[in-house]
Amino acid sequence: MNAEKQPVSLMIFDLDGTLIRSGDDIAASVNYTLEALSQPPIEREKILRFIGDGVRVLIERSLGPTAQELVPKALELFSTHYADHMLDTTDLYPDVHPVLTHFARQNKVIVTNKPVGAARAIVDRLRIRGYFTEIIGADTTPRRKPDTGVLAPLFEGVAPDPKRTLVVGDGVNDILLARNAGFISCALLNGLSDREDLLALEPDHACERLSELVDLFA
């Protein structure tokens, strides 16, 4: 019943693994980069575990400790390849449009550790830009999730009500961002991150699918 739902006025969504299925395209660009640098390829599942802390950290982890001198060139190769191929297979999770439409009255933003240019391009191409008032990426501010400083563009002069602000994401950084800010956290367990890592953080809510938000919040 509606009376049992927790009221929210601001919803902060992660992007990769939360709104979009993007793991295959990211993994393909990582392995393209490794091949171009004569480095051994990495299995997809391992690459997915490297996602969440921004492109540089993804590349550093993919190269491994013995090839860190290749990071600058790898970043260049990855960024160029991914810009051309980031929508080869990436698409929305099936319940994205219904859920975002359901929460039409709530203010909604995307906060991602993906570069903001790539985030905006994907959101535009997948036709969900109109649902969001703001898209914050890794290069929007000097800070990244889970540092609450990443939220600064949202709250210039207006402090949100923590009890009515929800962070939804499939990553550890999303749950930690909510905790650091005093917001409500909701972990999506079927994204890119390991579900046990998410559950170990004891988020306020945990969902198998985005559509479960409809039954939890109003």
Range of the domain at 114: 2-22+91-216
Question: pTM to 2 decimals?
Answer: 0.94
Are 184 and 106 found together in one domain?
Answer: yes
Dihedral angle of Cα 145, 93, 189, 177, to the nearest 10 degrees: 20
Q: How far apart are CA 194 and CA 172, in angstroms?
A: 9
Are 197 and 95 found together in one domain?
Answer: yes
Q: How far apart are CA 159 and CA 164, in angstroms?
A: 11
Are 160 and 191 found together in one domain?
Answer: yes
Are 73 and 106 found together in one domain?
Answer: no
Query: H or E stretch including 205?
Result: strand 205-207
Q: Supply 48's token pair.
A: 């997915």
Are 35 and 130 found together in one domain?
Answer: no
Contacts of 100 (CB under 8 A, 6+ apart): 108, 128, 131
The closest alpha carbon to 183, from 6, 15, 18, 52, belongs to 6
SS3 content of the chain, % helix, strand, coil (to 5): 50, 15, 35
Tally of domains in the chain: 2
| Domain edge (last residue) among 85, 110, 134 | 85
Are 187 and 111 found together in one domain?
Answer: yes
| Domain edge (last residue) among 47, 63, 85 | 85
| Domain edge (last residue) among 85, 102, 133 | 85
- Give the pLDDT confidence score for residue 3 in this predicted structure: 56
Residues of the chain with pLDDT under 70: 1-3, 157-158
Query: H or E stretch including 76?
Result: helix 71-85
Are 131 and 116 found together in one domain?
Answer: yes
Q: How far apart are CA 171 and CA 148, in angstroms?
A: 15
Distance of CA 77 to the CA centre of its chain: 22
CATH of the domain at 37: 1.10.150
Are 51 and 143 found together in one domain?
Answer: no
Are 148 and 161 found together in one domain?
Answer: yes
Are 131 and 165 found together in one domain?
Answer: yes
Are 80 and 32 found together in one domain?
Answer: yes
Are 196 and 117 found together in one domain?
Answer: yes
Q: Supply 177's token pair.
A: 């961002």
Q: Which residues are catalytic?
A: 14
CATH of the domain at 178: 3.40.50.1000
- Give the pLDDT confidence score for residue 1 in this predicted structure: 43
